Amino acid sequence: MNDAKRFYEHIKEEREKQRLVKEALETERKLGPEALGEARQRLKKADAPAIGAATETAEKPAERIKPAHTPPADGTKQQPAPLAIASLVLGIFGLLLWWFPLVGPTLGILSLICSSKARKFVRISPEKYAGGLATAGLVLGIITVTLSTLVTCAVTCTSVAAEAQSIE
């Protein structure tokens, strides 16, 4: 949870830097370079270096985001995302028990929920978590829910048809 919090704080800081850079560039464009110097002087001394750093980073080309499937550069192993193993286990049990009316769909839906939460962790910090188990749990959950739904619909339709036959 701390990783997600740090990630969102980092995003918030980056957006604030981008806003300050836009503001500074727009001020410079409207009033000239002297106005930018005056605006920096009006800000707190602690904030002025952040604006300068933000303008420097804004002028650099954007860094490429690493795909989730690449291992980290420092050689550390990625660990499975939290709830990924639970998602896979629930998906396997759901696939084995899909023909039971309540057990199969429940396990499939729980597998989908766990895998979506695990994949969220992978999206937030792909350098730390591997997403393979979460994807496998997602696929097994989809298959389980689909098979269970089809069987439930087939059983319901045949029982309704049999009931209609017995009434006539």
Concatenating the DSSP letter of every residue in 102-154 gives THHHHHHHHHHHHHHHHHHHHHH-TTTEE-HHHHHHHHHHHHHHHHHHHHHHH
Q: Of residues 68 and 9, which shows the higher confidence score?
A: 9
pLDDT range class, residue 137, cuts 50, 70, 90: very high
Number of Cβ within a 10 Å radius of residue 147: 17
Helix or strand or coil: residue 17?
helix
- pLDDT per residue over 152-166, tens digit each? 888 889 999 998 888
- pLDDT per residue over 51-83, tens digit each? 555 555 545 555 555 555 555 566 667 888 889
Give the Cα separation of 134 and 115 in Å (integer). Answer: 5
**This prediction's pTM:** 0.54
Helix or strand or coil: residue 81?
coil
- What spatial distance separates the first Cα and last Cα of the chain, rounded to whole Å? 61
- pLDDT per residue over 16-31, tens digit each? 888 887 877 777 677 7
Buried b (16+ CB within 10 A) or exposed e, 80-118: bbebbebbbbbbbbbbebbeeeeebbbbbbbbbbbbebb
Give the Cα separation of 85 and 20 in Å (integer). Answer: 43
